Amino acid sequence: MSLGTFHYPMPANEPVLQYAPGSKERELLKKAIAELKAQTADIPMYIGSKEVKTNKKIALHPPHEIKHTLGYFHMGDEKHVQQAIDAALAAKNDWAAMPWEDRAGIFLKAADLLATKYRPYINAATMLGQSKNVFQAEIDSACELIDFLRFNVHYLSEIYKQQPNSAPGMHNRMEYRPLEGFVVAVTPFNFTAISGNLPTSAAMCGNVVVWKPANTQVFAAQMFMQILLEAGLPHGVINLIYVDGPVLGKICFNHRDFAGVHFTGSTGVFNTMWETIGKNMANYKSYPRIVGETGGKDFVLVHKSADVDVAVTALLRGAFEYQGQKCSAASRAYIPSNLAEKIKKKLIAGVNSFKMGSVEDFSNFINAVIDERSFDKIKAYIDGAKRSKKASILVGGECSKKEGYFIQPTIILAEDPKYVTLCEEIFGPVLTLYVYPANEFEEVLELVDTTSPYALTGSIIAKDRSAIVLATERLRNAAGNFYINDKPTGAVVGQQPFGGARASGTNDKAGSILNLYRWLSARTIKETFNPPVDYGYPFMQEP
Ligand X SMILES: N[C@@H](CCC=O)C(=O)O
Ligand Y SMILES: NC(=O)c1ccc[n+]([C@@H]2O[C@H](COP(=O)([O-])OP(=O)(O)OC[C@H]3O[C@@H](n4cnc5c(N)ncnc54)[C@H](O)[C@@H]3O)[C@@H](O)[C@H]2O)c1
User: Active-site positions?
Assistant: 293
- Interaction mask 253-272, ligand Y, x per CB under 6 A: -----------xxx--x--x
Beta pairing, strands 481-484 & 457-461: parallel
| Residue ranges in 419-538 assigned as alpha helix (H) | 420-423, 441-450, 465-474, 513-517
Name the maximum alpha-carbon separation found in the chain.
98
DSSP 229-285: HHTTPPTTSEEE----HHHHHHHHTT-TTEEEEEEES-HHHHHHHHHHHHHTGGG-S
Instruction: Pick the binder of ligand Y from 143, 193, 240, 327 (CB under 6 A).
Output: 327
Q: Does the protein bind ligand Y through residue 505 (CB under 6 A)?
A: yes
Q: Does the protein bind ligand X through residue 289 (CB under 6 A)?
A: no
Q: Which is nearer to ligand Y, 243 or 471 (CB)?
A: 243
Q: Does the protein bind ligand Y through residue 294 (CB under 6 A)?
A: yes
What, of ligand X, ligand Y, none, does residue 489 touch, CB below 5 to 8 Å by kind? ligand X
Q: Does the protein bind ligand Y through residue 99 (CB under 6 A)?
A: no
Q: Check: CB of residue 366 under 8 Å from CB of residue 356.
A: yes
- Interaction mask 467-506, ligand X, x per CB under 6 A: ----------------------xxx------x--------
Q: Which is nearer to ligand Y, 207 or 504 (CB)?
A: 504
The neighbour count for residue 26, using CB atoms within 10 Å, is 17
Instruction: Pick the binder of ligand Y from 61, 64, 150, 212 (CB under 6 A).
Output: 212
Q: Rounded to the nearest whole angstrom, what is the least distance from the CB of residue 250 to ligand Y in the complex?
A: 9
What, of ligand X, ligand Y, none, does residue 505 touch, CB below 5 to 8 Å by kind? ligand Y
CA dist 470 and 413 (Å) reads: 26
Q: Which is nearer to ligand X, 267 or 328 (CB)?
A: 328
What, of ligand Y, ligand X, none, does residue 248 touch, CB below 5 to 8 Å by kind? ligand Y
Q: Rounded to the nearest whole angstrom, what is the least distance from the CB of residue 292 to ligand Y in the complex?
A: 8
CA dist 132 and 128 (Å) reads: 7
What, of ligand Y, ligand X, none, does residue 364 touch, CB below 5 to 8 Å by kind? none
* Candidate segments 68-76, 107-115, 241-249, 482-490, binder of ligand Y by CB under 6 A: 241-249
> At a CB cut-off of 8 Å and minimum separation 6, what does 470 contact?
441, 442, 445
When CB distances to ligand Y are compared, the closest residue is 245
Under rule CB under 6 A, how many of the chain's residues touch ligand X? 9
Q: Does the protein bind ligand Y through residue 330 (CB under 6 A)?
A: no
Q: Rounded to the nearest whole angstrom, what is the least distance from the CB of residue 85 to ligand X in the complex?
A: 28
Geometric angle at alpha carbon 374, from 369 and 378, rounded to 5°: 90
What, of ligand X, ligand Y, none, does residue 266 touch, CB below 5 to 8 Å by kind? ligand Y
CA dist 203 and 183 (Å) reads: 9
Beta pairing, strands 454-455 & 520-528: unpaired
Q: Does the protein bind ligand Y through residue 404 (CB under 6 A)?
A: no
Q: Rounded to the nearest whole angstrom, what is the least distance from the CB of residue 281 to ligand Y in the complex?
A: 18
Instruction: Pick the binder of ligand Y from 129, 249, 397, 409 (CB under 6 A).
Output: 249
Instruction: Pick the binder of ligand X from 326, 379, 502, 509 (CB under 6 A).
Output: 326
Instruction: Pick the binder of ligand X from 294, 328, 421, 432 (CB under 6 A).
Output: 328
Instruction: Pick the binder of ligand Y from 71, 178, 188, 511 (CB under 6 A).
Output: 188
Under rule CB under 6 A, how many of the chain's residues touch ligand Y? 30
Which of 254, 248, 244 lies closest to 276 in space, CA to CA? Answer: 254
Q: Which is nearer to ligand X, 36 or 478 (CB)?
A: 478
Q: Does the protein bind ligand Y through residue 293 (CB under 6 A)?
A: yes
In order of 152, 189, 218, 386, 489, the CA distances from 396 in angstroms are 41, 25, 31, 11, 22
* Candidate segments 196-204, 305-313, 321-329, 371-379, binder of ligand X by CB under 6 A: 321-329
Residue type, 437: P
Q: Check: CB of residue 207 under 8 Å from CB of residue 183.
A: yes
Q: Check: CB of residue 291 under 8 Å from CB of residue 514.
A: no
Query: Helix, strand, coil proportions of the chain in percent (round to 5)?
Result: 40, 20, 40
Q: Does the protein bind ligand Y through residue 298 (CB under 6 A)?
A: no
CA dist 432 and 423 (Å) reads: 10
What, of ligand Y, ligand X, none, does residue 459 touch, CB below 5 to 8 Å by kind? none
Q: Does the protein bind ligand Y through residue 248 (CB under 6 A)?
A: yes
CA dist 125 and 119 (Å) reads: 10
What, of ligand Y, ligand X, none, does residue 212 touch, CB below 5 to 8 Å by kind? ligand Y
Q: What is the dihedral of CA 343, 345, 349, 354, to 10 degrees?
A: 40
What, of ligand X, ligand Y, none, does residue 491 touch, CB below 5 to 8 Å by kind? ligand X
Q: Rounded to the nearest whole angstrom, what is the least distance from the CB of residue 308 to ligand X in the complex?
A: 23
CA dist 294 and 287 (Å) reads: 21
Q: Check: CB of residue 347 under 8 Å from CB of residue 316.
A: yes
Q: What are phi and psi of 12, to 5 degrees?
A: -90, 155
Q: Does the protein bind ligand X through residue 191 (CB under 6 A)?
A: yes
Q: Which residues bind ligand X (CB under 6 A)?
A: 190-191, 326-328, 489-491, 498
